[in-house]
Amino acid sequence: MKNTVVKTDNELVKYIKEVGESNFKKCFQCGTCSAVCPLSTEDRPFPRKEMIMAGWGMKEQLVSDLDPWLCYYCGECSKNCPRKAEPGELMMSLRRFLISAYDWTGISKLLYKSKYAEYIAILIVALGVLIEWAVLFGLHPAAGATLGQAVSPDKIDYYFDWPITVFLGVMLTSFIYNMFRKTVLSDAGVKIPLKLYFTEAWSLMFNFFTQYRYAKCDDSEGTSSKKLTEGKYNFWLTHLFLMISYVILFVGIVFFLDWFQNENSLPYLHIILFDYFASIGLIFGTVYFIVKRLTKKIERSKFSHHTDWMFVILLFLTGVTGVLLRASIVYNYSVSAIFYIYLVHLMILFPMLVIEVPFSKWSHLAYRPVAIYFANLKEKAKSLNNENAEIS
């Protein structure tokens, strides 16, 4: 750390205390957490480092820290902490803090601080959807109209799909740029050559689609196949299954909406992909996490913030109403039944997208692989610098 005058911020300490259940002030820096962490390295001694930075409310250092995103909350640190200071939970709290720090609108902070703020925000979006729907399609389907006439896929595309895609794209991009600015550009010690951004891009994709670091969370002895049969990869694989399902559905709905609205036009492969794989993934995944959060048997599900609950429940309801909607189309329900199911589905889906994606828990889907990418960039750049220094 540079020898700069330390600024402590007890408001920040309070905020971090509020957005999680870690007793990080209890830490006496023994370092057990970093020693047992399967992912922590000598250069990145998390979560020990974060424990004291949080304890001292060192805003500057915390905002530029990528390490909370490198943690997958296996809970080994919390299990072994002699002070029961819950370092794993602190990393979770810090991810919440970071989400609110990247968000320049200030909405995240509001949502994390107060569960009522989150309820109200969701209600507002749901009501907005209702009003928009009423304007576009009315509150009843016209008598004798087909589904295509009652709920035009074009209108859904124009007034729902495209705007939300653009909104989410703009929001997330600006937040990620904010993150880039705070974690990479602000670090005067590292200059990243432009070439690296491209050569390291594979790691972004690789980590996004495999969440491979999750597997490293278990560093016990044994072969991968043994660990698989012992269920040590269950959490990772379920999480991956849920994420892939979500991405498939999101892409499918945004770009190929009419396939979903027309049973006949859906190609066979897509039936398997969307109707079975992704639907099962979404519902199985959310149910799995809800059960874990209710039973609280494993470290990572021991504590649940209200935003955790909101995200997983909204996602589950989105899945259930989506499946119901698809079934009602496939099994030729009355147009009016489909009309209402469609409305309910959107009133759940949109709050989930508008609130959770940029401002809350969902955003880790974007931040985590990006953070790993940034961390890789910095590390590579540093080792390049060192090599150059040695040569010269």
Partner 1 sequence: MDNNLGIYICSGCDIGKSLNVERLVNTAKDSNKPVVCISHEFLCGPEGVNLIKNDIAEKKINKLVIAACSMRAKQDVFNFDPLTIHTERVNLREHVIWISPPNDNNTQLLAEDYINMGASKAKKAAFPEPLIQDLNKTVLVVGGGITGLNAAINSAKVGYEVVLVEKKSNLGGFPYSKYKKWETKPPFDKNIWIKEGLDELISRVESSKRIKIYKNSKIKSVSGAPGKFNVEIEPSDKDNAAEVINETVGSIVAATGWKPYEAKKLDYLGYGLTPDILTNVELEELYSELSENGKSESFTVKRKSNGSAVKSIAFIQCAGSRDENHLPYCSTVCCMSSLKEAALIRKNNPDANVYIIYKDIRTPGEYENFYRKMQDDEGIYMVKGAVSDISYDKGNNEIGVKVKDTLFGGDIDLNVEMLVLASGMVPNSGEIEYGQDVNLTAGNPTSASGASCPPSIPVSTAQVAKSGLLNLAYRQGKEMPDLAYGFPDSNFICFPYESRRTGIYPAGSVRMPMDTVFSVDDAKGAVLKAIQCVEQTSKGKAVHPRSNDMTYPFFDLPRCTQCKRCTEECPFGAIDEDEKGTPKYNPERCRRCGVCMGACPVRIISFKNYSPDIVASMIKSLYIPEDPTDENYRILVFACENDAYPALDILGLNKINLSSNIRVIPVRCLGSINNVWYADALSKGIDGILLLGCKFGDDYQCHFVKGSELASYRMGNLKETLTRLVLEEERVRQIQLEFTDYMKLPEIVEDFVNKIKSLGPNPYKGF
- Residues of the shown chain interacting with partner 1 in the complex, contacts defined by CB under 8 A: 1-6, 8, 10, 13-14, 17, 23, 25-26, 28-29, 45, 49, 52-53, 55-57, 83
| Minimum distance of partner 1 from residue 4's CB (angstroms) | 7
Rounded Cα distance, 90 and 229, in Å: 31
| Minimum distance of partner 1 from residue 29's CB (angstroms) | 4
DSSP state of 212: T
Identity of the residue, 2 or 195, whose beta carbon is nearer to partner 1 in the bound complex: 2
> For residue 47, is the peptide bond before it cis, meaning its omega torsion is within 30 degrees of 0?
yes
Identity of the residue, 23 or 336, whose beta carbon is nearer to partner 1 in the bound complex: 23
Identity of the residue, 3 or 223, whose beta carbon is nearer to partner 1 in the bound complex: 3
Identity of the residue, 11 or 390, whose beta carbon is nearer to partner 1 in the bound complex: 11
Query: Do residues 307 and 360 lie in contact, with contact meaning Cβ atoms separated by under 8 Å?
Result: yes
Q: Which long-range contacts (CB under 8 A, 24 or more apart) does 148-153 make?
A: 148/261, 148/262, 150/335, 150/338, 150/339, 151/261, 151/338, 151/339, 151/342, 153/257, 153/258, 153/261
| Minimum distance of partner 1 from residue 5's CB (angstroms) | 5
| Minimum distance of partner 1 from residue 58's CB (angstroms) | 8
Identity of the residue, 26 or 239, whose beta carbon is nearer to partner 1 in the bound complex: 26
| Minimum distance of partner 1 from residue 45's CB (angstroms) | 7
Rounded Cα distance, 58 and 10, in Å: 9
Of 212, 202, 284, 291, residue with least CA distance to 245: 284
Identity of the residue, 143 or 188, whose beta carbon is nearer to partner 1 in the bound complex: 188
Query: Do residues 183 and 66 lie in contact, with contact meaning Cβ atoms separated by under 8 Å?
Result: yes
As a dihedral over the C-alpha atoms of residue 216, residue 219, residue 220, residue 224, rounded to 10 degrees, the angle is: 30
| Minimum distance of partner 1 from residue 384's CB (angstroms) | 23
Identity of the residue, 6 or 298, whose beta carbon is nearer to partner 1 in the bound complex: 6
Three-class SS state of 221: coil
| Minimum distance of partner 1 from residue 3's CB (angstroms) | 5
